[in-house]
Chains A and B, each alone.
Chain A
């Protein structure tokens, strides 16, 4: 059923991911858009590899690498974490991948990690992404004024979050909407 696969980020992925991250397409929606060097990327990877508070995956769709997904600030006292992901370019963003990826991340956070709260932050100008998070049950919890400077201009950021009990209420219906009968068959086969 699941054509979206998350593969743990490994050293062999780094150059591919660095190229994606340095592209205008991806950096436009990230807090930092400084060019990342090969050395910085290696150092970052060595740091996150040993860090239990984050997880990074390369996203594969039908066997092809299409983006990066991550959980950060995994806090076992608060039972919460942040989610983020990006797709490598517009050729894959114009598909159903983002919705399926978001579904998979939510399931992982609430079913596998059994956390209570999943958070994310999105630029206020990125309305399609905010709208999609809201379709998955995220609610707006914060408004960070002039939170980040992009292209010489301070931009507002929206903080969104969803709780485990809220996800459990809508997960099956959303799964059926985006995976259809395959989702039901998979659920029934459990």
Chain B
């Protein structure tokens, strides 16, 4: 699941021309500040994750880091 999330993030960033290969995507990575995702990217991310895992990551509050996405998905397992 974690690799799938990273794949989704990379594909969104690549699509929008914001992907920086030198930035490692880790659980502690902050979606906006470290990975450079904007509101549009976050909307796309929500859609992709919902399609893949049937979970709305923003349903019950904010998500700031990649690790918080993992935690939300683990909670719904």
Contact = CB atoms under 8 A, between A and B. Distances in A.
Partners in one complex: yes
Interface of A: 62, 91, 93-100, 128, 131-132, 135-136, 177-181
Contacts of A132: 38-40
Interface of B: 16, 31-32, 38-40, 42-48, 50-51, 58-59, 62, 64
A95 B39 contact: yes
Contacts of A135: 16, 38, 40
A178 B44 contact: yes
A93 B47 contact: no
B58 A95 contact: yes
Question: For chain B, what secondary structure do more than half of its interface residues adopt (helix, strand, loop), or is it mixed?
Answer: helix
Given A91-B62, A94-B32, A180 B47 contact: yes
Contacts of A180: 47-48, 50-51
Nearest to A136: B40
Contacts of B39: 93, 95-99, 132
B38 A178 contact: no
B43 A100 contact: yes
Contacts of B46: 96
A131 B58 CA distance: 23
A106 to B, nearest CB: 13
A40 to B, nearest CB: 30
Contacts of A136: 40
